[in-house]
Chains A and B, each alone.
Chain A
Amino acid sequence: MKNLIYFLGLTILLGITSCSEDELDLNPVDSGSVDGFFTSTSDLVAGVNGIYNAFTGDWWGGAFVHVQPHFEAATENAIICCSWEYQYKQIAQGTMNSATGGVIRFKWDYGYQAIFRINSILEVLRSGTIEDLTPEISQQIEGELRFLRAYVYHHLTFLYGDVPLVQSVLTPDEARSIERTDKSTVETFMFADLDFAIANLNEQPFQGEFGRPTKVAAMTLKGQALMYRNQFGDAANTLAQVMALEGSAVQLDSDYESLFRGANEQSPEIIWSLQYVDNEVGDGEGNFLAAHYGPNQLDGTSASQGGGWGSFQYTQALLDEYYMTDGLPSDQSPLYDANNPFANRDSRFEGTFFFPGTVYRGTVLTENNFLSNGAEKTIKIASRKWKTETSNNSFSNNGAADFVLLRYADVLLMYAEAINETAGPNSEAYDAINKVRARANMPPIAEGLSQDQMREEIKHEREVEFFLEGTRYFDLLRWRDAQDVLLQVTEETRSFDPSKHYLWPVPQFAIDQSPNISQNPGY
């Protein structure tokens, strides 16, 4: 019996002493912690890489540059199938309000998520805690960070007008009392970032990694930012600097179609693009554009490899913009054949679209391959852009094509426009636009145009050149053309109120959290 008591006593003693409070100090198993992470340049670079995730994001969760081609649905050229696709339909129809959500919230939330990530890495960079950081690398990284920040503010100010100017990491309390900063102040800040980037980025991307901004990218972005703000003189000067590098750093690619389909992603025409790889290789690093666009009912497989939902119906107005190869609109050209309406058009038509008779993934497409969300399309065409010939881009986020944000054709057309607005339709303007047309095998534009006529030519050229790149919506806003153009649509009910719709509503959520943030007029 004594033995038993000793045994029990010992067990109890052992039991109690083995329970140390250290057992309550545990560490996460499958994720990291910010504290103490950033100690070397490679950690810092990983932090820079993490910023791009705010741009690419995820499918339904959103991103800063989300399904950018969907902006075509908010122009006269496409009708989006579904009101649930990120609320582009509400923008198109002028029914958006502060609670609309979708892309109207994505731009705000992910824009500021990117800005937080940029500012926090800038603070690490400047903290002096990275021991192996050389001044040269530090400048390049800072240039990249400030380029990205400028890109975000460029879009935010354009879409929302005045926005809070966040220059450093904010605490929640600081953010709760923040107000919108006057747009011009934000723009001044943005241009300072761009000038820093131009001065400090190299001609080659950091570490030679394609997809990081270069000096040329910074100059191009600055040119675009100036154009969007109607500062045509400065824009012309800036864009001229890019054009001076033609042949060395940049040039038009002879193969238009290849720029958008994954096979020629590092063409010298492409100045800056969002990088995607096939999901099967990269695990979540693919795009989700491919699922939205393109032909469907393909190659008779239940998995529909390569197919898309067909989010858009395209309008007759769009088709009419693709002139015949003689440079004339279809209703004026003898080349137009009503029985074969897609033939003999501007080569960019076939560069941008599939239609019956074209070949996709080895299959000759038929009229059955053109549905929009299950409904037969009126005009049987489907996007060729963002559709690759090989990757497994069925209905998932594994499209492999990079999404082009800045390219040299845009530089040329912006330059033509800037010159036309400042000096009128001189030969520089003609040269720039005709260069873009020549690549598309289109004849030069007519000589002797007035400034207004030239402006219309440039608008037309931009519409055709950049279709499905999400450019035209921004152009219509900056030209203040939206109230005329959007209402021409007959395929669905549209409205556009020029007194309010040139700016988006500030998301209600942002106002709820920071009551000093005001709403835009009319919302």
Chain B
Amino acid sequence: MKLAKFVQTLLVLSGLLLSTSLAAQQKVTGTVSDVDGEPLIGVNVLVKGTSSGTITDFDGSYEVIIPEGGTVLIFSYTGFDNTEITVGNQSVIDITMEEGVSLEEVVVVGYSTQKKANLTGAVTAIGQENLRDRPLTSAATALQGSAPGVFVNQNSGQPGRDDVLIRIRGVGTLNNANPLVLVDGIEAPLSNLNPDDIESITVLKDAASSAIYGSRAANGVVLVTTKRGTDQEGVSFNYNGYYGITEAIRLPDIVDDAATFAELWNEAATNFGEPERFSAQQIADFRANSPNTNLFDQMFDSAPIQQHNFSVSGNSNKTNYRFSFGILDQDGVVPKADFQRFSTRLNLDTRVIDGLNIGVNLALTRGDRNGASEDLSAGGDASIIAWMSRTMPIDEVINSDGFLVRPNNGLVNGLINNARRDFNRIDNDILGSTYAEYEILDGWKVKGTAAINYRHYFQRFTNIALTTADPITNVLSTDPSAARSASRAAWNSLNITTWLQTTYEKSFGPHDIKFLGGFNQETSQTESFNGSRTTFTSNNILTLNAGDPSTASNSEGGTQWALQSYFGRFNYVFGDKYLFEANVRYDGSSRFKNDKWGVFPSFSAGWIISEESFFNIPSIEFLKIRGSWGQLGNQNIGDFRYARNLSLTQNYSFGETIAQGVAQTSLGNPDLRWEVTTTTNIGFNMHLLNGKLQLEGDYFTRLTEDILFDVPVPSITGFGSQILNSAEVENRGWELIASYREKVGDWTFSVGGNVTNVQNELKKLNKTLSGDDVDRQISQYTILEPGAPIAAFFGYVSDGIFRSQAELDAAPDHSAINPNFGVGDIRLVDTNGDGIIGPDDRQVIGNQQPEWVYGFNLSVGFKGFELSALVQGASNYYSYGYSHLFWPFDNSHGVDTRWLDRYTPDNTGASMPRLFLGQGPSTSVVNSFWLLDRSHFRLRNVSLSYTFPQSLIGSTFISGLKVYINGQNLATFTDFPFFDPERESGAQRASSSFPNLSIISGGVNLNF
């Protein structure tokens, strides 16, 4: 740990504290409580008609300076009715606030904010309640289970490489389905944002709310707003930190008894007439004296995580500010892996003169990640999990002298791989923006913003030479210098965004109107450079310069894109009950050749029925219905896909001399144009029982047309595919959120839940087909076929195992699949009833996208204590467990303990088929036996916190103190075998998954 840095920062901040003194002026003090007398924390106290004000502290008390001319205080608090009090001569004002329907709550929307009550689109806002008191390493995980319609999947638990995937309302494209993520309006990844800096996250889900982002909004938009200084004069310091222990949630249970392992191997070989590998003598030796190596046990361990955040925020004169500094320090649950992130941010706004505001957001982030490889779950050589499962239990990995032993009968000693390789990556990111906003006339503002997002990393790979022992003779030998290698990669990306927007707001009589118009331009350049050498004389000096110059190799990569956009929005509200909004965006993208520009409109309307005089249901305080329609684009297709690419590296050596070779590697298509998503949404918001029960529901359809798809072309063209605007996908679904809160005496309760159902259906794939051509594309395990969900698993249905010869004889003919089908193998179903198992028996056997996504939260408070829990889940989606540990001994991996219950003549009721070496009849075709249900239900977060009352800390410099303990991912309920169900089944094998982590932590939140 960088303890020195920690202490240093503490000292600096203490220094800041001591040198700050608050000016004492004429003031009003008091406390704010609810009808039960409980203090309310964080109530806004504003002097009406001025910008002076404050918020109540942890004891419900406040202190506000009344400026010249101020006469009335306004108290406002989420979920409570606003209260106005005339100050008069009073210097102490204690008030009681009543709970009510909060209609004033404001949420961030595209380029602006909007009163929640007036929203007509489908928008979900996540506030502090989902962000605080949790050991979050990435902000994206805060969305997990909290936002309906949002499916968040954490692919990996590797420190610094969470690989979080966000899907909003299903998958609407065959291309990149990532939502647009904007941090204070600038496109930036969530991964390098300090979660402690986040004020709120808004998710824009339908076309009405996101059309203002036009061409990039088809997958939804995530708007992150960072914390800023308040408008109230004063300063507040905060320390927020935790320390915790991380542990892998689930690890494979491999057969690590060497004798059993050897017997299983022999059995697998014998089953198919192959020679046994281990003699009886060898097996007896294993039984008597074997290392029984299990690297999962040896290499995984618990590891600490800690995070410390310091911030100072406030307002001075006409400037508000928030400065923060944060450290995340996470050790790996495997050797070598760790991650540190240092982040600092300054958000500053200042009023230069009346009407003119300027400001700056600046965030600097540094990440430092280590490991034996960049992505420890990348599969193949890079996967630490594969190293472990390829290290055989029969092999000794470290001898009694402490030397690593070369694999004997196995091919891999995972400890050697781990020891040889080192990876380090340093990220330095700058996200900054400046703006100037001027109010030209009352209600008419112009704002210009310029922003850069500069990201850079430098990564180092090295392989050292090791001294290892011979497995038989124990003789030591050292790798030659040629075994040492080093490579470096530098990468940077610069996005520049500039935009100019103007807004006009006017209220006259019952009419409220609002215009927004603007122009936006974004350019992006990415460059990378790689170099490597081998043959170093020493393990200690692995700078490229020390390598053999004749082995030097280098390469370059890079790309660029640009986007220009015009956008506009019109809002109209009549009498606070009829709401109307229209958006339009006109976008041009460099990613298209002949057809660059597209128009994306949207319209939405809402009706607050509860405002109507005829509405007279006393238990319903608020009822709004709303509907929207709009179109969005998707240009997330990669750069220059329209071009007929000429690869310049199709080289060939004549004799020993390399000659340059070129070849066309894509068919290209200059007529590519935008994918267009049309979204229709209807929804309602309802508040009942004095606002204690709130309901919100939405139904949506989302049809994406002209999806860019690599339409397969016959390989006799020389190519596998050509990109065309071709496919159509529809997502239909609904979302429901309910929350209820209650207060009995000193106790507070709240429960909430959200559930989303999305039906995903591919409508059309290959528009080049006609007539009775079958429109489908079968990949190795999946199919794209109209009527089925995107990339559904496709194969044979298995209904069990052949448990007797009679059963096999009576079954449909399996021999066309594999003539070696025998008793103990998987039985396939003759779905078309022709008596033969053949390709026509294949069908869709499972989908990859969850149909149901849900989350529930519960919170109980008593005096200063609060216990809260969040559970989250997803269901009806699958992964295909192929190869590696899923199949016994496949690709030189071991075997897991599920296979102890395999079919043998003595165990005919087994759950697994008879053993085979890697691949056998049971694996010869894709079938549902290997389909793994990813449905899971997870206790994502539990926390218990205590907020110290003012009576205990009032005499100290501390103005607020909260301590908490927290558990993340403490329990998971799933049928998924031995790896984490969140692991994606996509390009990489599920079995190389780096496990997700559970974290138990304790933290402090201190205000002074």
Contact = CB atoms under 8 A, between A and B. Distances in A.
A303 B560 contact: no
B714 interface: yes
A338 interface: no
Contacts of B919: 83-84
B592 to A, nearest CB: 9
Interface in A430-453: none
Contact of B654 (A211, A299, A374): A211
B733 to A, nearest CB: 32
A374 B660 contact: no
B651 interface: yes
B639 A28 contact: yes
Contacts of A112: 715-718
Interface in B891-927: 891-892, 917-920, 924-925
Contacts of B820: 93, 95, 493
Interface residues of A, number: 107
B925 A99 contact: yes
B37 interface: no
B475 interface: yes
B464 to A, nearest CB: 10
A280 B534 contact: yes
Given A23-B523, A49-B659, A492-B272, A31 B648 contact: yes
B468 interface: yes
A11 B448 contact: yes
Contacts of B482: 303, 305, 392
Contacts of B404: 302
Contacts of A512: 712, 777-778
A481 to B, nearest CB: 21
Most A CB atoms within 10 A — which of B274, B662, B664?
A: B662
A109 B718 CA distance: 7
A386 to B, nearest CB: 16
B273 A34 contact: no
Contact of A53 (B652, B654, B920): B652
Most A CB atoms within 10 A — which of B446, B534, B654, B663?
A: B663
Most A CB atoms within 10 A — which of B411, B551, B722, B777?
A: B411
B840 to A, nearest CB: 12
B768 A285 contact: no
Interface string B642-673: 01111111111111111111111001100000
B753 interface: no
B472 interface: yes
A300 B475 contact: yes
A159 B478 CA distance: 48
Contacts of B564: 19, 21, 23-24
B292 interface: no
Contacts of A30: 556-559
Interface in A43-82: 43, 45-54, 56, 79, 82
A491 interface: yes
Interface string B429-450: 0000000101010000010100
B652 A56 contact: yes
Contacts of B596: 24
A116 interface: yes
Contact of B561 (A26, A116, A164, A171): A26
A4 B588 contact: no
B277 interface: yes
Nearest to B415: A302
B661 A46 contact: yes
B470 interface: yes
Contacts, number: 307
Interface stretch (B48-56, B209-217, B811-819, B984-992): B811-819
A176 B768 CA distance: 10
B409 to A, nearest CB: 5
Nearest to B660: A46
A376 to B, nearest CB: 7
Given A283-B553, A374-B409, A302 B716 contact: no
A492 B652 contact: no
A297 interface: yes
Given A15-B448, A117-B718, A492 B640 contact: no
Contacts of B448: 11-12, 15
A164 B716 contact: yes
Nearest to B380: A60
Interface in A360-377: 368, 371, 373-376
Contacts of B468: 300-302
B589 interface: yes
A80 to B, nearest CB: 11
A77 to B, nearest CB: 16
Contacts of A84: 883, 890-891, 918-919
Interface in B471-502: 471-472, 475-480, 482-483, 498, 500
Contacts of A37: 646, 662
Contact of B716 (A19, A43, A175, A492): A175
Nearest to B663: A50
B73 interface: no
A194 B720 CA distance: 28
B326 to A, nearest CB: 34
A23 B590 CA distance: 8
Nearest to A112: B716
Most A CB atoms within 10 A — which of B480, B482, B650, B668?
A: B650
A35 B644 contact: yes
Contacts of B384: none
Contacts of B440: 5
B716 A23 contact: no
Given A25-B590, A82-B891, A172-B714, A53 B411 contact: no
Contacts of A109: 715, 720
Contacts of B917: 83
B356 A277 contact: no
A282 B563 CA distance: 39
Most A CB atoms within 10 A — which of B563, B589, B773, B819?
A: B819
A53 B652 CA distance: 7
Contacts of B925: 99
A300 B272 CA distance: 34
Contact of A305 (B480, B560, B652, B716): B480
A282 B483 contact: no
Interface string A90-116: 000111011101000000110011011
B817 A97 contact: yes
A16 interface: yes
B712 A513 contact: yes
Shortest beta-carbon contacts, A-B, top 8: A116-B718, A300-B477, A49-B661, A50-B663, A209-B654, A29-B558, A50-B661, A50-B650
10 contacts: A4-B356, A24-B564, A33-B646, A116-B717, A175-B716, A282-B651, A309-B411, A368-B472, A374-B411, A510-B715
Given A12-B500, A282-B653, 4 more contacts: A15-B500, A31-B646, A49-B661, A51-B663
